[in-house]
A and B are shown apart, each in its own frame.
Chain A
Amino acid sequence: MPVNYYIFLSAALFCIGIIGVLTRRNAIIVFMCIELMLNAVNLLLVAFSKMHHLKAIAADAASNVGSEAQLFVFFIMVVAAAEVSVGLAIIVMMYRNIHSVDINFLNRLKH
């Protein structure tokens, strides 16, 4: 499969995420669009790791070039899980204080 297809798929998913962040006002939907962007990047990292692996096994059939990229994706998932837990806690606290998840009420960082 040409790696170009994966690049375009990831770019499309990333841009859909950006459109969601820019056009929605619900903080939870904005947060979900950020997750979508993270996943687009993960998909591209895996595609590139398979591309480098295909080049490396032409020279050495037993090489495992490319597994670092997949571990990188694994660490991105770890950090994303931690980020989601803290972010949702912040959204819950904000809902408790102002009874809304509208990001237009968050345009000032005081009160």
Chain B
Amino acid sequence: MGITEILFWFLTILALTGALMVVFSKNPVHSVLWLIAVFFAISGHYILMNAQFLAIVNLIVYAGAIMVLFLFVIMLMNLTTDTEPQKNRWLKMAGAVAGGCLLLVLVAALRDTDMKYQLAQVKEGNIGLIHYLGKTLFNDYVLPFEISSVLFLSAMVGAVVIGKKGD
């Protein structure tokens, strides 16, 4: 087992543990911190697949900006106490069984496909470098890139209008 496999399994276990702790923590602030751990693990997977641009964007946008926004909202509402109302026990169990069944069906359906002979390239390959991604982005995908700036502008205006005090 080389260093790549060890890193892969370490990051996988970190991601799964963090995801479970996001769901099962009582305190919302702990959930946010575990979600940041999950995002770090996923960024580690990106680095392992040599998608360096996406790893950095994932860290800056998700672990940096979005999670800070969540923390601000939680602290603004003073939700840090453990007084969240719980769903009743049967409803919780039904939710867990439904999710588990979906996982079972996905794993059973995908286990025997011919995908198991395919390899994903790790540690090498340079399509994830910003040099190649930038060439593709600004040659073939300029229009979606510009449209996404309009999307951001409208999201900003929408957030301000919704969050405005009064009427």
Q: Given the known A-B contacts A50-B121, A67-B132, are A13 and B54 also in contact in the complex, defined by CB atoms under 8 Å?
A: no
Q: Which of B12, B118, B133, B152 has its CB near the most chain A CB atoms (within 10 A)?
A: B118
- Is B162 part of the contact surface with A, judged by Cβ < 8 Å? yes
| B129-167 interface bits toward A, Cβ cutoff 8 Å, 1 = contact, 0 = none | 000110011001100100010011011101110110000
Q: B100 — which chain A residues lie within 8 A by C-beta? A: 15, 19
Q: Are B121 and A51 closer than 8 Å at their CB atoms?
A: yes
- For chain A, which range describes its interface: under 10, 10 to 19, 20 to 34, or 35 or more residues? 35 or more
Q: How many residues of B contact A (CB 8 A)?
A: 84
Complex CA gap A72/B64 in Å reads: 21
Name the prevailing secondary structure of the B interface residues: helix
Q: Are A86 and B62 closer than 8 Å at their CB atoms?
A: no
User: Within the complex, which residue of B32, B87, B98 is in contact with A32, where a contact is CB–CB below 8 Å?
Assistant: B32
- Is A85 part of the contact surface with B, judged by Cβ < 8 Å? yes
Given contacts A11-B106, A19-B95, A46-B128, 7 further A-B contacts (CB under 8 A): A4-B116, A7-B110, A70-B127, A77-B58, A84-B70, A85-B155, A101-B79
**Interface set of B (CB-CB < 8 Å, partner A):** 4-5, 8, 12, 15-16, 19-20, 22-23, 28, 31-32, 35, 38-39, 42, 45-46, 49-51, 53-54, 57-58, 61-62, 65-66, 69-70, 73-74, 76-77, 79, 84-87, 91-92, 94-96, 98-100, 102-103, 106-107, 110-111, 115-122, 125, 127-128, 132-133, 136-137, 140-141, 144, 148, 151-152, 154-156, 158-160, 162-163
